[in-house]
Amino acid sequence: MPDSLSATPQEHPARPERPAHARGAGAAPKGQQTKAAVVDAALSLASQVGLEGLSIGAVAELTRMSKSGVFAHFGSREELQISVVREYHRRFELEVFRPTLAQPIGLPRLRAMFANWMKRTTTEIDAGCLFISGAAEFDGRPGPVRDALVESFSLWQAAVQYTIQQAKKAGHLRADANEPQIVFEMHGLILALHYEVRALRLHGSIERATTGFETILAHYANPNQASQPKDQDKR
């Protein structure tokens, strides 16, 4: 399994280049550090008011910078929004995807993916998921911001689908298991979990989502998996 969402062997757009402060190549120049701090503040604000709620003025006020100072780093409100989407994607990858690489290929890794995805969803009760809120804001509005959102989530879906393919090759799932359908059903559980946790504040939502996920796996399970060797390769 590749160690980056953009490296999954699926057809999808190239992943946006990570900002220098995220690549771990030593201390970034002051200008890049300032921009990273502005993006961090803008992401915090967008989590509360949505991407549409972002403005150069609001971010300038939050960071105690001048509007011209913020504008100099991005050049437009649209570029600020795109930078926020990319930073959210970077954090999502680090929290949800990267830890799963320590798990064996197959169902252990797929289960870890779903568990991390649920954890991320349930810890965003007050902030909300930028992928979900952004989809609602920009679903009917073509343009660079929507493109950035679609690209980011498509990369994640490709990673999940690739993990399902690995589970099939490992003999954990049936060879005829419908990969896009499994991704669709997993995403449906996450959307339901988000709604129950964030909007309804219902107890037991995580348990219901987990049960739903195990039901999906049971439906597509390879009946002969017990007699097949499990691939423990973590590469």
DSSP bridge pairs for 221: 173
Dihedral angle sign, alpha carbons of residues 129, 133, 138, 139: positive
> Check: CATH 1.10.357.10 for 5-227?
yes
Question: Please, what is the average pLDDT of the chain?
Answer: 88
Tell me how far apart the alpha carbons of residues 232 and 86 are, in angstroms, rounded to a whole number: 33
Which residue did the predictor score with more confidence, 91 or 17?
91
Give residue 164's pLDDT.
98
Closest by CA position to 143, among listed 84, 79, 199: 79
pLDDT at 180 over 80: yes
- When pLDDT is averaged across residues 165-190 and rounded to a whole number, the result is 97
Which residue did the predictor score with more confidence, 40 or 226?
40
Question: Confidence band (pLDDT; 50, 70, 90) for 26?
Answer: low
Tell me how far apart the alpha carbons of residues 5 and 158 are, in angstroms, rounded to a whole number: 8
User: Among the listed ranges 8-12, 65-69, 190-194, which one has the minimum average pLDDT value?
Assistant: 8-12
CB 66 within 8 A of CB 198: no
What are the boundaries of each domain within the chain? Answer: 5-227
Give residue 57's pLDDT.
96
- When pLDDT is averaged across residues 225-233 and rounded to a whole number, the result is 50
Closest by CA position to 191, among listed 142, 165, 217, 153: 153
> Which tokens go with 81?
């929004």
Give residue 225's pLDDT.
77
**Which pLDDT tens digit goes with each residue over 193-224?**
999 998 898 999 999 999 999 999 999 999 98
Question: Confidence band (pLDDT; 50, 70, 90) for 4?
Answer: confident
**Which pLDDT tens digit goes with each residue over 99-137?**
999 999 999 999 999 999 999 998 877 667 899 999 999
Distance of CA 15 to the CA centre of its chain: 13
- When pLDDT is averaged across residues 134-146 and rounded to a whole number, the result is 92
- Overall residue count recorded for the chain in this entry: 235
Q: What is the DSSP string of 27-77?
A: PPPHHHHHHHHHHHHHHHHHHHH-GGG--HHHHHHHHT--HHHHHHHHSSH
pLDDT at 19 over 80: no
pLDDT at 188 over 80: yes
Closest by CA position to 161, among listed 169, 127, 229: 169
Q: Helix, strand, or coil here: 221?
A: strand
